[in-house]
Amino acid sequence: MLWKLLPVGLSYVLLQVTLRFKDDGDLAKRLQDRDPRAMSDLYDRYGRLAYSLIYRVVRNSGAAEDLVQETFLRVWNRIQSFDRTRGALGPWVLTVARNRAIDYLRSVDAKMSAGALELDRLESPPLFSSFEDSALSLDRARVLKTAFEKLTPTQKQVIELAYFEGLSQTEMAERMKQPLGTVKTWVRSALKALREDIAGEAIA
Amino acid sequence: MNPCQDFHDEFELYALGLLDPAEKTEIDQHLLTGCSTCEAALKNALAMNAIMMSTAPGVVPPARLKRRVLASVGVHPMSWSWLAAMAAACMLVFALWLSVQERSRAAELAQARRTLIDVSSQRDRLMQALSFLDDPATVPVSFGKGQPIPPHGNVFVHSRLGVLLIAANLPAAQAGKTYEMWLIPKGGAPRPAGLFQSQGGTAMHILSGPLDVGALGAVAVTLEPESGSPAPTSTPIIVAPVAGP
């Protein structure tokens, strides 16, 4: 389901994402130096990806614009604690973007509570340092896509609910009207399959 | 069982903030121990999550969003699109200026051309008049002599060239009026012979083309409506009897 929704240019987008991750160090330095052109470059690299991801989650262009703005503002404000030598700017921006979108969904559903604080902690810049270059290769993206295609429909569904709707396993069980244990099995098996295929590719 | 392995299965959900509080707390505490294996596994989970997130169907954001984002951090760049728009505006103004200049130049050129045509036309008329005067076959007739109210002048008649009228002391026709020349055959009705105006008290009018001088009784001029008349509607101002060759 997820992969069937992907546009024809997915490979190109992935290529951009994965390849750009490698020269993010210089961009991060310029952001830290408050170079006015750096923010423009950051947006050029990740603006469309962030907007696409946020739009996928909130399904509302007006809200998506607000959330993209919030995403980049947050990155700008926290860039000083980012490890520019081995940091992964792209994954961080996407994580911040996804968290803003999920946070928005939860606030609409009046489920903000402690979730917002938790998401905030999970996008802390130090988390995105010391990435292996190979962790974000195009090959891995292809492997992930192939692995996703091999999942069962229920596994694909739980993966989408996790990544793009921000549902916990308990919430998935309620939504899917399935026992929590069953849902956990689907989630774990799906993630395990994805993870193993990527790890297999790395070894190969 | 190795607890790390259990955690490894949870890191994607942990990084997405989707674990139950108890599970999350357990991982938090374990990471605080500095377990390098789990730290590496967490990085891999973050990487996988990022790649998964980047697979959202591509949607093009509106162009204004970039300006909003930059403005929110106090950057107001002169974007290329603005530069392009300004360049286009400058070029438009320049093109308009050139157009005005060109139009003005074209108007001047047209005026010069009109003047040239007028001068050329005057010269042709003078040359035409001279050809009457130079030709011995021309029959000159004077008029107005001895009359109390001028005008006076001469009519030159030529069987091949036509009729040349030169009048002096001929006042300008009133508004909406014009002078009309008539050829009056002997024993016949006046025939229209062209319209003309007097400028500065003098007038010259030429009717080109062959005519039967012997049959011509007189050349006359009347004041007529601006568009001319097929037959005289007023008393002749000039009457020049033609005696024949």
* Domains identified in chain A and CATH numbers: 3-130 (1.10.1740.10), 137-203 (1.10.10.10)
What percent of chain A clears pLDDT 70, i.e. is strictly above it?
75
DSSP letters spanning A51-120:
HHHHHHHH--HHHHHHHHHHHHHHHHHHGGGS-TTT--HHHHHHHHHHHHHHHHHHHHTT--TTHHHHHH
A145, pLDDT greater than 60: yes
Cα–Cα distance for residue pair A56/A101, rounded to 1 Å: 9
Q: b/e map of A121-160 (b: 16 or more CB within 10 Å)? A: ebbebebbbebeeebbbeebbbbbbebbeebeebbbbbbb
pLDDT digits (tens, 9 = 90+) for B45-93: 888 898 888 878 889 999 999 999 998 888 765 556 666 777 788 788 8
Reduced to 3 states (helix: H, G, I; strand: E, B; else coil), residue A123 is coil
Cα–Cα distance for residue pair A117/B124, rounded to 1 Å: 100
Q: Which amino acid is at A20?
A: R
Angle between the N-to-C axes of helices A180-203 and A169-176, in degrees from 0 to 180, rounded to the nearest 10: 120
Q: Do B61 and A68 touch (CB under 8 A)?
A: yes
The band of A21, judged by pLDDT with boundaries at 50, 70 and 90, is low
Half-sphere exposure for B149 (CA within 13 Å, toward CB): 6
E strand or H helix at A50: helix A36-58
Is A175 exposed, middle or buried, given 0-12, 13-18 or 19+ CB atoms closer than 10 A? middle
Residue B167 — left, alpha, or beta (φ > 0 → left; ψ -120 to 50 → alpha)?
A: beta
| Overall average pLDDT of the B109-114 stretch | 83
Q: What is the pTM of this model?
A: 0.58
Which of A18-27, A34-43, B126-135, B160-169 has the least mean pLDDT?
A18-27
Residue B61: list chain A partners with CB under 8 A.
47-48, 51, 64-65, 68
What percent of chain B clears pLDDT 70, i.e. is strictly above it?
93
pLDDT digits (tens, 9 = 90+) for B131-185: 888 888 888 888 887 666 678 889 999 988 889 999 988 888 888 888 999 999 9
Q: Do A47 and B73 touch (CB under 8 A)?
A: no
Q: Which amino acid is at A136?
A: L
Per the model's pLDDT, the better-predicted residue between A162 and A109 turns out to be A162
Cα–Cα distance for residue pair A59/A55, rounded to 1 Å: 5
Q: Do B9 and A192 touch (CB under 8 A)?
A: yes
- pLDDT for A115 equals 60
Reduced to 3 states (helix: H, G, I; strand: E, B; else coil), residue B65 is helix
The band of A198, judged by pLDDT with boundaries at 50, 70 and 90, is confident
How is residue B35 written in tokens? 């377990």
A15, pLDDT greater than 50: no
The band of A110, judged by pLDDT with boundaries at 50, 70 and 90, is low
E strand or H helix at B194: strand B191-196
| Overall average pLDDT of the B219-228 stretch | 89
CA end-to-end span of chain A, whole Å?
A: 28
By Cβ distance, the residue of A51, A194, A195 closest to B59 is: A51
User: Tokens 């121990």 appear where?
Assistant: B33
- pLDDT for A167 equals 92
| Overall average pLDDT of the A119-145 stretch | 71
Interface mutation vs chain A, best among B5, B20, B46, most A CBs within 10 Å: B46
By Cβ distance, the residue of B44, B45, B75 closest to A36 is: B75
The count of other CB atoms within 10 Å of the CB of residue B6 is 13
Q: Rounded to 5, what percent of chain A is helix, strand, coil?
A: 80, 0, 20
B212, pLDDT greater than 80: yes
Cα–Cα distance for residue pair A10/A3, rounded to 1 Å: 9
Pairing of strands B191-196, B203-208: unpaired
Interface of A with B in 24-53 (CB under 8 A): 36-37, 39-40, 43-44, 47-49, 51-53
A97 touches chain B (CB under 8 A): yes
What are the φ and ψ backbone dihedral angles of B204, each rounded to 5 degrees?
-135, 130
| Overall average pLDDT of the B228-233 stretch | 89
Q: Do B42 and A2 touch (CB under 8 A)?
A: no
Cα–Cα distance for residue pair A60/A108, rounded to 1 Å: 12
Q: Structural domain boundaries of chain B?
A: 3-53, 97-129, 139-241
Q: Which CATH number fits domain B139-241: 3.40.50, 1.10.10, 1.10.3210, 2.60.40?
A: 2.60.40
- pLDDT for A5 equals 45
User: Tokens 């229920």 appear where?
Assistant: A154
Residue A193: list chain B partners with CB under 8 A.
none
Pairing of strands B191-196, B177-185: antiparallel
Q: Which amino acid is at A93?
A: V
